[in-house]
Amino acid sequence: MSESVSRRHFLGTGALLAGAAATLRAPDALAAPEAAPASLAASPPPGFVPFAAPGRIVKVSKGNTLQPNGLFPKADAAKLMLERVMTELTGESDLGRAFARFVHKDDKVAVKMNGIAGQTGGTMATNKELILPIVDGLIAAGVPPQNIVVYEQYTSFFNGTRVTQKNLPAGVQINVHGNKDATMPEIRVLGVRTKFVRALTESTAVINVGLIKDHSICGTTGCLKNMTHGSTINPHDFHAHNASPQIAALYAQDVIKSRVRLHIVDGFKLMYDGGPLDKKPECRIPHESVYASSDPVALDTIGWNEIEKLRKDKGLASLTRSKREPSYIRVASELGLGVTDVNLIQMREIAL
């Protein structure tokens, strides 16, 4: 683990949030509430307790999983790896039972993808070969197809995942929110006015499918940022100061943290520089892994470490030296959103 993750002393969360708020918010927002109203929080169906294991990660790896072009995973390999990572995480016997630990048949489930680097010919996006069996797993868990929506920000991002209405099961909905399809009341986060989009707020449960990817502003983009900046109407307003502590503060809102039940990382490829777009294909390498956890902070900590190791191997400066250390990950841990201490992260690695 990089020194920046395991040893460096960060400023306290209160100082980080207060300092950022003083810079970001307008004078008339100084007394504005920083959290979403309680009414925007979602609750699981009565009697249902979703699986949660802070700090616990399962990683499944397999060789020869990519198609001959080396760009996308083979469908059978992706399905096999998803089944194994989910059953290992939950202790259940099959994919449907495993997903049923996270979602109930009465839930309205949103699947958040990440396709920004798949637009205009790029390939570093969440892959349909993984998204489609995730949707199948939700249906096998008892969720009616019409209560499932897969969503992204823009049509070009959505197209980057190669998921279409035709290859989704009948009844499953598609939503492209365009950073404007929001119906909730306006709130302020660090003094900035914002809303979360309808695909999120109309769900009761979210499956977040992220990547391990370099990001030119905040260092890395993984699970936390995929939810925050992919689900608000004005993500550009939360990029200052390497988007820290903004990412952590956004995720800490009840409207997000009460809904996201599971994080799955599409690790078939990894990008260690040139992100968030796919403009440096030489910095996109096979990783051939799928991760799963209920803890986004732990997953983002591991993703940060993987990127740093590759940057060192390739002779690149660390993210800290590049002045884009993803300190929001540590802030998120201090806000109680997950585990970043590598001594407390338990990762089971399985090679198929």
Instruction: At 29, give phi and psi (nearest 5°).
Output: -105, 5
Interatomic CA distance for residues 305 and 309, integer angstroms: 6
Q: How many CB atoms are located within 10 Å of the residue 70 CB?
A: 11
pLDDT recorded at residue 199: 98
- Domain architecture of the chain: domains with CATH: 55-351 (3.40.50.11440)
| pLDDT at residue number 17 | 58
Q: How far is CA 37 from the centre of its chain?
A: 23
Residue 184 near residue 201, CB atoms below 8 Å: yes
pLDDT of residue 116: 94
pLDDT of residue 122: 80
Sign of the alpha-carbon torsion through 5, 11, 13, 16: negative
- How would you write the pLDDT of the chain (352 residues) with one tens digit per residue? 443 333 333 334 455 555 444 444 333 332 334 454 557 999 999 999 999 999 999 999 999 999 998 899 999 999 999 999 999 999 999 999 999 999 999 999 999 999 998 887 789 999 999 999 999 999 999 999 999 999 999 999 999 999 999 999 999 999 999 999 999 999 999 999 999 999 999 999 999 999 999 999 999 999 999 999 999 999 999 999 999 999 999 999 999 999 999 999 999 999 999 999 998 999 999 999 999 999 999 999 999 999 999 999 999 999 999 999 999 999 999 999 999 999 999 999 999 9
Work out whether strand 205-210 and strand 260-271 pair parallel, antiparallel, or are unpaired. Answer: parallel
pLDDT of residue 119: 83
Long-range contact set of residues 134-137: C-beta below 8 Å, sequence gap at least 24: 134/82, 134/207, 134/209, 134/264, 135/111, 135/168, 135/169, 135/172, 136/95, 136/169, 137/82, 137/86, 137/95, 137/96, 137/98, 137/99
- Contact (CB, 8 A) for 210 and 226: yes
The overall pTM is greater than 0.75:
yes
